[in-house]
Amino acid sequence: MEPGSRIESALDRAVAYAEAPGAPPLLAEAMRYAVFPGGHRIRPRLCLSVARACGDDDPVAADSAAAAIELLHCASLVHDDLPCFDDAPTRRQKDTVHVAYGTPIAVLTGDALIVLAFETLARGAWRHPRRLVRLVSLLGRAAGSPMGIAAGQAWESEAHVDLSAYQQAKTGALFAAATVAGAAAAGAEPEPWRRLGEALGEAYQVADDLRDVACRQEEIGKPAGRDATLGRPNAAALLGTGGALDRLARLTREAVAAVPDCPGADRLTAEIEAQARLFLPASLRPVSA
Amino acid sequence: MEPGSRIESALDRAVAYAEAPGAPPLLAEAMRYAVFPGGHRIRPRLCLSVARACGDDDPVAADSAAAAIELLHCASLVHDDLPCFDDAPTRRQKDTVHVAYGTPIAVLTGDALIVLAFETLARGAWRHPRRLVRLVSLLGRAAGSPMGIAAGQAWESEAHVDLSAYQQAKTGALFAAATVAGAAAAGAEPEPWRRLGEALGEAYQVADDLRDVACRQEEIGKPAGRDATLGRPNAAALLGTGGALDRLARLTREAVAAVPDCPGADRLTAEIEAQARLFLPASLRPVSA
């Protein structure tokens, strides 16, 4: 099965558990609404790419790791969009969860998606319980405190922000989780894969800053210019569009250089370059050589 | 070590991970504030009691399961107290987390505590990875959708409430998790222990309803009469104080009768009866025979 189909099908199975008979209907509906239709599924694709480069000897475990990472990502989007944070009206070309279902259900949707991520790992990793120990730890590190997504978001409540800790936690942590979890799901040592994820996370952050500054709302599916409105740091505002595009290209090369020696390295490199191009909307993509 | 000390020490170790260098200071502080000082730690005590009745051959695993359950409980209290739900000003005789740290940090505190619960399981269960598969699944079931705490809370957003599903999910699920996880952490079959937890959860719900109706704020550490204010069902309002006390006694007997045959059954029964007495504040406790 092609990676995109593997991911959608793993996510569908995961969400179906949360919708089982007895579930409160609005919560179940909001959870599916928060996960489907998705964006480019960049993080789970990266996870599967690394798992394949490491042999992918247990595709069920790799699929569950990929799905769990995307569920954590969706959870963080739902909570980031809440009125007490970004108060965002739209996301992925539709109303945000709190606009569609109300703030209480949006808070619970995020909570339940976080829980579902870990349940999904446990359901997928039963053949290799030792890998589950690693996967739960790796995804926990990426999602919580001191250096996961929740910590990243919490820096926005601090008077003095550690900018690098902020960006690494808010964006980098889940990209790093995607590469290390892909390796762990395939039974490989995870840590050699961390730098690849971190570099891609930094690249994605620069691309997201570019989208925010340079694109119209219709193209990116959420309001443009939010960083300026919310007083947040933005690489494209600091470096200019050209400077930010250069930085993006440099980070992508750094990511490729960080791929550990493995049988699937060439194919993985090609996939990373293709994925990194998708970070940007069409209007900002450099013309291929 | 005595169970109370085991629990406090396991919780302290767990929270210390989230406070490690690099953590955003307010989030780290709020997480500790949400967990300490605790209430009676009824759920983790129950978890350890069951683990001991099952042999407690891996106390590190049992401690981590107990701590994880309490972390999920604390997370749910922080989110339940938010302005969009109960808008509660006080909890455990002090300001609620959102009053002390603001709503954004309170949302993230709940998120990070949920994540920490699963990380804590993984850190404690490395000696027995197969038990981790069960523990993650059991705690996930208790916390998420369709029948965990988040689902319980979500019933409050439905026009037509399934009252039994609501109470079982909101209160019963975590009590059931305490007994099944205690058994699983000790390597025993978990499901025979579920009914004990469910009956105690129902008993606790009745006791909580009694506290809400019959006690003053100073005695219970949170505002009294909230159920009437918020239009929520309450057993003491429905059955009267005497009727609710009778029901509480019946459910406690039912719980004791549900204890599976095991070497530690007598001691466990005594512990359950002692714990169930603590469900009620002193002014409502029946005089001992």
Rounded to the nearest angstrom, the gap between the alpha carbon of residue B284 and the centroid of all alpha carbons in its chain is 21
Q: What pLDDT shows up at residue A234? A: 83
pLDDT band at A44 (very low <50, low <70, confident <90, very high): very high
Q: What pLDDT shows up at residue B287? A: 64
The answer to whether the Cβ–Cβ distance between A157 and B105 falls below 8 Å is yes
* Residue with more model confidence, A163 or B85: B85
Count of C-beta atoms within a 10 Å radius of residue A89: 12
Distance from CA of B24 to the nearest CA of A (A): 6
pLDDT band at A218 (very low <50, low <70, confident <90, very high): low
Whole-angstrom Cα distance, residue B113 to residue B98? Answer: 15
Q: What pLDDT shows up at residue B276? A: 86
- Token representation of residue B54: 């099952």
List, in order of start, the domains of chain B with CATH numbers: 3-275 (1.10.600.10)
CB pairs under 8 A between A and B: 209
Are A279 and A45 a contacting pair, CB within 8 Å?
A: no
* Residue with more model confidence, B134 or B208: B134
ipTM of the complex: 0.94
- Token representation of residue A43: 């993080």
Please report which helix (H) or strand (E) contains residue A95, including its range. strand A94-95
Nearest residue in chain B measured CA to CA from A101: B157
- Token representation of residue B179: 């007994």
Q: According to the per-residue pLDDT averaged within each range, which of A138-142, A159-163, A230-234 is highest?
A: A138-142
Q: What pLDDT shows up at residue A289? A: 44
Nearest residue in chain A measured CA to CA from B108: A150
Among A160-174, B31-45, B187-201, B213-227, name the one with the lowest average pLDDT: B213-227
The string of pLDDT tens digits covering residues B182-215 is 999 999 999 999 999 999 999 998 998 888 887 7
A150 has a chain B CB within 8 A of its CB = yes
DSSP B94: E
In this complex, which of A112, A121, A154 lies closest to B144 when CB atoms are compared? A112
* Residue with more model confidence, B160 or A8: A8
The string of pLDDT tens digits covering residues A248-260 is 999 999 999 999 9
The string of pLDDT tens digits covering residues B100-113 is 999 999 999 999 99
The string of pLDDT tens digits covering residues B214-273 is 777 667 677 778 788 877 778 888 888 899 999 999 999 999 999 999 888 999 999 999
